Amino acid sequence: MILVDDVSQDETVVIARGLDIKTVVHSTNRGYGGNQKTCYMQALDEEADFIVMLHPDGQYDPKMIPQLLNVSRREKNRALARI
């Protein structure tokens, strides 16, 4: 798991590091697109099998991640979007 922090003002980095999550911290705010670019580049560098983007606004339910990954593993030719 990789967390990219775009200069948040809360305890995100401290919590992530306490959970032993690989954490990348931007020194300046790169905005939505810049943050996503860092996320994807880090995932590619780690040779990730799957990339799941979670946004802090609660737009996506993280409880769905295991189900999404199971479908992706089982049905490799299927693409999933907006659940």
User: In sequence order, which residues have a C-beta less than 8 Å from that of residue 57 and are 6 or more positions away?
Assistant: none
Neighbours of 52 (CB within 10 A): 15
Place of tokens 């995932």: 43
Give the count of domains, the chain.
2
Q: Which domain holds residue 10?
A: 1-48
**Same domain flag for 35 and 6:** yes
- pLDDT of 37 strictly over 80: yes
Neighbours of 17 (CB within 10 A): 13
- Confidence grade of residue 52 (pLDDT, cut at 50, 70, 90): confident
Q: What is the pLDDT of residue 39?
A: 93
- pLDDT of 14 strictly over 90: yes
- pLDDT of 77 strictly over 70: no
- Confidence grade of residue 50 (pLDDT, cut at 50, 70, 90): confident
Burial 22-42 (b: 16+ CB within 10 A, else e): ebbeeeeeeeeeebeebbeeb
**Same domain flag for 8 and 43:** yes
- pTM for this structure? 0.73
